[in-house]
Structure 1
């Protein structure tokens, strides 16, 4: 009998699940947006404004942006961890990535909520 010892931070399953869940959230949002585009083929700027003035659309858009940023974080973090060996450079890239993703989130909230 093989006795396996699990060592480490257990990132594998958590990250795998996070990637799949965020992908599903983005897929559902994309399907909804494409459905709106197809059904409202002659949509005007006012139609888009009306759609995005609904609170549930804003909340769903914000949740999708969060899912996108988490999805990007896991992917980019794995790239830095796999391919960048010098610890200082890897840490700098992690911090730069986090700052960039937080900046994108702030900008997305400003755009979606009109803050």
Structure 2
């Protein structure tokens, strides 16, 4: 019988698909927001506020940020798993990374919906 030592998190295909899906979401958002900004051409704070006061733009912007943070989590997590050998330090870095990304998500939501 062969005993294999399994290492790593084995997320594989699921994480690869999530990374590609979030990249597509961010790319589509970038194109759409560029079209909106070229059409509206906001030059004052009030004009910028008007663009992001629209519920659809708010939702799409929040979706962009959630996609960005999921994309970042997978990438940074893989860096910690590949290059940080100490389990305790790696766990600490994972917790700090998740805490920061969740905080950024809450901050983005606060900014978007306080307009």
Normalising by the residue count of structure 2, what TM-score does the alignment of the two structures yield?
A: 0.86
Q: Which runs of 5+ in 2 are unaligned?
A: 1-5
Segment of structure 1 superposing worse, 94-103 or 29-38: 29-38
Cα shift at 1:34: 1.4
* 2:71 alignment partner in structure 1: 71
Normalising by the residue count of structure 1, what TM-score does the alignment of the two structures yield?
A: 0.86
* 1:23 alignment partner in structure 2: 23
Change (3 A) 1:41 1:52: closer
Cα shift at 1:45: 2.3
* 1:59 alignment partner in structure 2: 59
Paired residues, what number? 109
Q: Which runs of 5+ in 1 are unaligned?
A: 1-6
In 1, distance between residues paired with 2:17 and 2:50? 35
Cα shift at 1:103: 0.8
Change (3 A) 1:89 1:10: closer
In 1, distance between residues paired with 2:25 and 2:59? 13
Aligned-residue CA RMSD (Å): 1.8
* 1:82 alignment partner in structure 2: 82
Change (3 A) 1:56 1:40: closer
Segment of structure 1 superposing worse, 66-75 or 31-40: 31-40
Q: Deviations over 1:22-70 (max 9, x none)?
A: 0011001111111123233354322222221111111111111110000
* 1:97 alignment partner in structure 2: 97
For residue 67 of structure 1, give the secondary structure of its aligned residue in structure 2: helix
In 2, distance between residues paired with 1:63 and 1:36? 17
